Amino acid sequence: MEDNRTVILTTLNDAWAEPDSVFDLFLESFRVGNGTRRLLDHLIVVALDKKAYDRCLAVHHHCFALTTKGMDFSSEAEFMSTDYLEMMWRRIDFLRVVLKKGYDFVFTDTDIMWLRSPFPHFYSDADFQIACDYYRFSAADKRNSPNGGFTYVRSNNRTVEFYKFWYESRKSFPGQHDQDVLNKIKSHNFLHYIGLQMRFLDTAYIGGFCQLSRDLNRVCTMHANCCVGLDNKIHDLSALLDDWRKYMASGTGGWSVPKACR
């Protein structure tokens, strides 16, 4: 972005890149959101396979091909399958490299709809900020339930070391994904040692299907979390954008979702 080295990042594979799939809904949310269209200029789509990269080039300006030797991430990876875990951990390692290059980033899953800019709701004193499946406590309380699908991270020595520690911690918890491992290490003494400031984002602003952000006057992003199956996500995210368009037209309304994701 113009005033700092901040990028918005998402990852994409072929299963989610097909026309009329999640990727199209993701881009559409920026276009129909309140003041979010301009953020598309700062969005980099990290494609995990050639088909996703080609599809990105056809509809977006900023695409990056991230390949992993010996791995094919093109198909829909079943939750907690070997391919799913490899894809999640590849993402963590890539984000560490982004931080090491000096870029702050917002990482967003592609099944997150951007309805308003979340930047006004980020904390100025935090190195690492993360969305929640369930937000029950204060922003600094590590008893909150984090969701790795949405993070805002500032580039500094603390975050580079944290992401390295997070990635290496996968060896201590084999067969677990990045979010579960984060839950296990979020109170580790190493984070206190490096001085990492962590904050959890209120679902009133950074919401999802696990814990709905019910006030449409405050919601910034909505995540199709607590939802299994690509078709279910597409159905409910499409309905969510319809709800949002009605709200933008009338100034009133609420969510009709989750439906298929319930």
DSSP letters for 198-259: EEE--TTTEEESSS----TTT--EEE--S--SHHHHHHHHHHHHHHHHHHHHHS-------S
The pLDDT of residue 69 is: 59
The pLDDT of residue 68 is: 62
Query: What is d(CA 119, CA 138) in angstroms, rounded to the nearest whole number?
Result: 19
Within a domain: residue 36? Answer: yes
Q: How many CB atoms lie within 10 A of CB 127?
A: 23
The b/e string for 216-243 (b: 16+ C-beta within 10 A; e otherwise) is beebbbbbbbebeebebbbbbbbbbbeb
Residues 197/125, Cβ–Cβ less than 8 Å: yes
3 state SS of 164:
helix
Q: Which residues pair with 105 in a beta bridge?
A: 7, 153
Within a domain: residue 242? Answer: no
3 state SS of 127:
coil
Within a domain: residue 230? Answer: no
- Sign, CA dihedral 87-191-111-211, equals positive
Residue 16's closest CA among 63, 75, 62?
Answer: 75
User: Which residue range is the domain that position 188 belongs to?
Assistant: 6-206
Which amino acid belongs to residue 129? Q
Residue 221's closest CA among 234, 237, 199, 239?
Answer: 237
Distances in whole angstroms, Cα of residue 87 to Cα of each of 103, 135, 201, 206: 22, 26, 24, 24
Within a domain: residue 249? Answer: no
Within a domain: residue 257? Answer: no
Residues 92/149, Cβ–Cβ less than 8 Å: no
Residue bearing tokens 């993701």? 26
Within a domain: residue 201? Answer: yes
The pLDDT of residue 176 is: 86
Within a domain: residue 27? Answer: yes
Within a domain: residue 126? Answer: yes
CATH number at residue 19: 3.90.550.10
Counting the structural domains of the chain, the total is 1
What does each of the 262 residues of the chain score in pLDDT, given as a tens digit?
767 899 999 999 998 999 999 999 999 999 999 999 999 999 999 998 899 999 999 999 999 999 765 444 444 444 444 566 787 888 999 999 999 999 999 999 999 999 999 999 999 999 999 999 999 999 999 999 999 999 999 999 999 999 999 999 999 998 888 999 999 999 999 999 999 999 999 999 999 999 999 999 999 999 999 999 999 999 999 999 999 999 999 999 999 999 999 8
3 state SS of 132:
strand
Regarding beta strands 128-134 and 198-200, do their DSSP bridges make them parallel or antiparallel, or are they unpaired?
Answer: parallel
68-75 contacts: CB < 8 A, separation 24 or more? 73/13, 73/48, 73/49, 74/13, 74/14, 74/15, 74/48, 74/49, 74/50, 75/13, 75/14, 75/15
C-alpha 209 chain-centroid distance: 14
Regarding beta strands 198-200 and 112-114, do their DSSP bridges make them parallel or antiparallel, or are they unpaired?
Answer: unpaired
